[in-house]
Structure 1
Amino acid sequence: MKTRGEGRDEAELYSPAFLKSPGHELDGPQPPTTQHWLSLIEKALVNIKLTYEAREYGPPGWNYTQNKNCERVISMVMVGIGVYARLLKHAEAAMACLAVDPALLLIGVGILMFLITFCGCIGSLRENICLLQTFSICLTLVFLLQLAVGIVGFIFSDKARGKVSEIISNAIEHYRDDLDLQNLIDFGQKEFSCCGGISYKDWSQNMYFNCSSENRSQERCSVPYSCCLHDEGEAVINTLCGQGMQELDYLEAGEFIHTNGCIDRLVNWIHSNLFLLGGVALGLAIPQLVGILLSQILINQIRDQIKLQRYNQQHKTDPWY
């Protein structure tokens, strides 16, 4: 008695008509079904996709680490300048004008910036998701803090103006106490063509320039030379040009010095250069946003590689691997 399929060639055995005919099912190994082939193809495509993505992006963190080098250098320079200013300069006058020592502020910002970029750099080199997440979160907090300071300063602009006026008054009072502070005030008065905080008479707050009878200084009732009107072609600057100017009224003094205060000049300059200041703020924000974006992209790449490694471990014995 012939078994099913006996005496038939291979083409006839696997023909659709023979396979579908009742009572002619094959014994032994069956041909692979369409579902089986689709399953193998799907797994192969997943493996190819993950491998392509890993090769397409290259080594994780390569370009990202290079972008962090510049920020680390900047942070170290800031720390160096702050340490120099703190150790070699006496900042008593600056401390009298400001609530925070600028040198300590520079050191703190530099150290914080170095630590943040260090987390980003080491995290990218070691493919450490925890360090990269720390870098991304810190950078996000710094960006939000800067945004909050800008919004608060805009909302409470009147209080900010009062604080600026207080700082300028304290700076005038300690004008002769620190050379760097003196140069800064002279630069501001020459750049903005102003004198004093509100008017040129604010220089009476300084012990060397006040008009009291007890003042025996040669600069009594005077103003710094940076308040004076200078001709563009003047070769030699007369540093005594402000002698006795506080004793004159506005009209008389206006012929020799700038009588407008620096606060109004500064406010007008800010209003006239809002687009410039906005561009500077945007220029500071863009690197932070780019750093946040790149860190998240790198985290996703590392996670994809982890998935690829796990997938390869699970399917390394598959015949199609």
Structure 2
Amino acid sequence: MKDPLCYMLIAESTFYILNLLNGILGFVIFLVGVRLVAIQASFELFLETDHFKPAFILFGTGVSVSLISVVGCLGINKRGVAVANVLGVFLLSLFFLENFFVLYTLKEHGVILADIQSRMTEVLGNYNNLGSAQSAWTYLQREFQCCGVTRPSDWAPMNVDGCFKQERGFNFTVPYSCTNSTMFCDNTYKAGCLDILENYFSDSYSLITCGLLAAFLVQLMGIFVAFVYARKAYLIRKQTRRHIQDERQRLLAPTPIERL
């Protein structure tokens, strides 16, 4: 096991496997970004433009990880010391960037939750004037089986065309999307949409964070193996050069007959 070539083969195999895992993780991170955009696009009227930044950062991270994985595989095939060192530096840089991204995502998640209520109230106020507001609220209430921002009575000032509802002796109407039936208004939803939508975003961001933490583990192993691989490749090259020089000197050395 003291033979550098043996260490080299082990490091090479491990490095190759970790590069494949990195490539797969990069693709998964990219798909998570696509999924996050799809989730946010469904409720885009309730979000600000800046709230889409985490998804686009995920796109860039996923593509970067996949490209670095390709470079790593090329470095393995050529047994390039410089490529392995550069790959290790890239992985280390990406590791710190992803840590920053996790912190940024958690911060942005808090901002989204803080802004959602005001945006929902604003869109609800435009329900009778904008078709997009009607479509957004119809989709939200049917998808999550909820009604209003925090309670069905949020619809009271709007005088919308829909089901009559009585709450605490007060009569008002709610949209038909507040009920699970298109024919009867007996079964209107009682829960508001704010808490449900916030929980939905919280679950989505939790999955993203868990996925990135798994990527961190693989990348840490990749960083370690990249530098080990580069070190062993350097020793192999050094040993090979020394062997070539020894052989050259042996061949150029005069034979006993020539000495006579």
TM category (shorter chain) comes to 0.5 to 0.7
Greater relative contact order structure (CA < 8 Å, 6+ sep): 2
Runs of 5+ unmatched residues, structure 1: 1-47, 229-236, 246-255
Determine helix, strand or coil for the equivalent of 1:71.
helix
Q: 1:165 corresponds to which letter in structure 2?
A: A
Alignment of 1:262 onto 2:195:
yes
What CA deviation, in whole Å up to 9, does each residue of 1:149-185 have, x standing for no partner?
A: 445677xx6x853432324654784676579x947x8
Mean CA deviation greater in 301-310 or 127-136 = 127-136
- Go from structure 1 to structure 2 and tell me whether the alpha carbon gap of 1:138 and 1:175 turns closer, same or farther (over 3 Å shift): farther
TM value normalised by structure 2: 0.59
Alignment of 1:94 onto 2:44:
yes
Contact 1:200–1:223 under 8 Å retained in 2: no
Q: Report what 1:165 is aligned to.
A: 114
Determine helix, strand or coil for the equivalent of 1:221.
strand
The aligned runs of 1:125-140 (5 Å cut-off) are: 125-140=77-92
Q: Report what 1:311 is aligned to.
A: 242
Alignment of 1:284 onto 2:215:
yes
Q: What is the deviation of 1:57?
A: 3.4
Contact 2:23–2:66 under 8 Å retained in 1: yes
Name whichever structure is richer in strand by fraction: 2
Q: What is the deviation of 1:290?
A: 1.0
The aligned runs of 1:168-247 (5 Å cut-off) are: 170=119, 173=123, 177=135, 182=139, 189=144, 199-200=150-151, 211-213=157-159, 215=160, 217-218=161-162, 221-222=174-175, 224-225=177-178, 238=181
Q: What is the deviation of 1:295?
A: 0.9
Name whichever structure is richer in helix by fraction: 2
The structure number with the bigger radius of gyration is 1
Contact 1:195–1:261 under 8 Å retained in 2: no
Q: What is the deviation of 1:140?
A: 1.6
Runs of 5+ unmatched residues, structure 2: 124-131, 164-172, 252-260
Calculate the aligned-residue CA RMSD, in Å.
Answer: 5.1
Q: 2:220 corresponds to which letter in structure 1?
A: L
Q: 2:23 corresponds to which letter in structure 1?
A: R
Residue from 45, 49, 60 that aligns with 1:108: 60
Q: 1:221 corresponds to which letter in structure 2?
A: V
Contact 2:11–2:228 under 8 Å retained in 1: no
TM value normalised by structure 1: 0.50
Query: What is the distance in 1 between the residues matched to 2:100 and 2:57?
Result: 19
- Go from structure 1 to structure 2 and tell me whether the alpha carbon gap of 1:221 and 1:186 turns closer, same or farther (over 3 Å shift): closer
* Identity among equivalent pairs (%): 15
How many residues get paired? 225
Query: What is the distance in 2 between the residues matched to 1:311 and 1:95?
Result: 69
Query: What is the distance in 2 between the residues matched to 1:238 and 1:120?
Result: 57
Q: Report what 2:166 is aligned to.
A: none
Query: What is the distance in 2 between the residues matched to 1:131 and 1:311?
Result: 23
